[in-house]
Amino acid sequence: MFRLLFLTCLCAVPLLSIAEISSPIVAIEFEPVKVAPHSYYVQGQAGAVSPDNQGFMSNAGFVVTKAGVVVFDTLGTPVLAQKLIDEIAKITKLPIKLVIISHYHADHIYGMQVFKALGAEIWAHADGQQYIGSTEALARLDQRRVMLNPWVDKNTQVLPADKWLSGDTAFEMGGLHFELQHVGPAHSQEDMVMLVKEDSVLYSGDLVFKGRVPFVGNADSRLWLQALEKLIALTPKYMIPGHGAASTTPVEDLKLTRNYLSYVRQAMGKAVKNFVPFEEAYANTDWTLYSKLPAFPDANRANAYNTYLLMESEGLEY
């Protein structure tokens, strides 16, 4: 009943115009980077979300075709989304026709309403419907309204997609061919990646944190590893991760994330099998191979602990 009431209220709220969303707040500055003839991205700042970065800590991308623009993810605030639209307009006068959402995490979706107001159609995987109206979604939005005020405020909404995809989807626009693959559950239930075939560019969302330790959270690392194998098999020439700079050696970066997750699972799985308490297991694990990577101090201990619990629930499989 709560979910139904939320969606009813959401539908009753008119979408704000772009001017109402973006003015008079000024977004942090950024410029798109071109990685292939048609493919671009903007790179979020390193570190956790804060007023200093205005929520700009994830990547978004876009592809310019002869018939219009395809956008991948919408950044973490409506203001950032409007800034992205302004930057796209400097490159092409063609309309933004389609927005692909990699997954329903706050730093990737709070700009959706700006693209919706612009007339773009939004696609996401159907498992993202679980997030709409959930306690998690409402709590996260309340948190960001406090932490990122005024860039996230009472007018910021969590919107459903216009089209919920049930699986892999291929489409063509302006002579370019796109492949959407559902590779979740991994980082999230609804993880979606996009391959631009002519450019050999993979937009990977948060399945890959380039050159750094990923944030595992409560993700199922076993399924995440399966998803990474699917991406490695695509052998893209370039990859745009959810965080960090574009990769010109995507297979290597995919393997780095894969090898890290495998190592954590092996170490924690062995501890669980031998009934070694987590604190002792963590202290006795050799982290040398990964300890110099960015985000290791912030993420590794939590990753290891969550994996320890996961290995217990898997019945000592590793």
Give the predicted TM-score (pTM) of the model.
Answer: 0.85
- pLDDT averaged per 10 residues, the chain (length 318): 41 44 69 98 90 95 98 97 98 98 96 97 97 95 96 96 96 98 91 97 90 83 93 95 92 92 96 96 97 90 95 72
Q: Give dist(CA 120, CA 162) in Å, integer.
A: 9
Q: Does 297 sit behind a cis peptide bond, omega within 30 degrees of 0 on the bond before it?
A: no
pLDDT for 19 equals 42
DSSP state of 3: H
Q: Give dist(CA 7, CA 159) in Å, integer.
A: 9
Contact yes or no for 170/204 (Cβ under 8 A):
no
**Structural domains of the chain in order of their starting residue, each with its CATH number:** 2-249 (3.60.15.10)
pLDDT for 86 equals 97
3-state secondary structure of 257: helix
Secondary structure (H, E, C), 11-30: HHCCCCCHHHHHCCCCCCCC
Q: Give dist(CA 79, CA 27) in Å, integer.
A: 6
Percent helix, strand and coil across the chain, each to the nearest 5 = 40, 20, 40
pLDDT for 22 equals 42
Q: Rounded to 5 degrees, what are φ and ψ at 7?
A: -65, -35
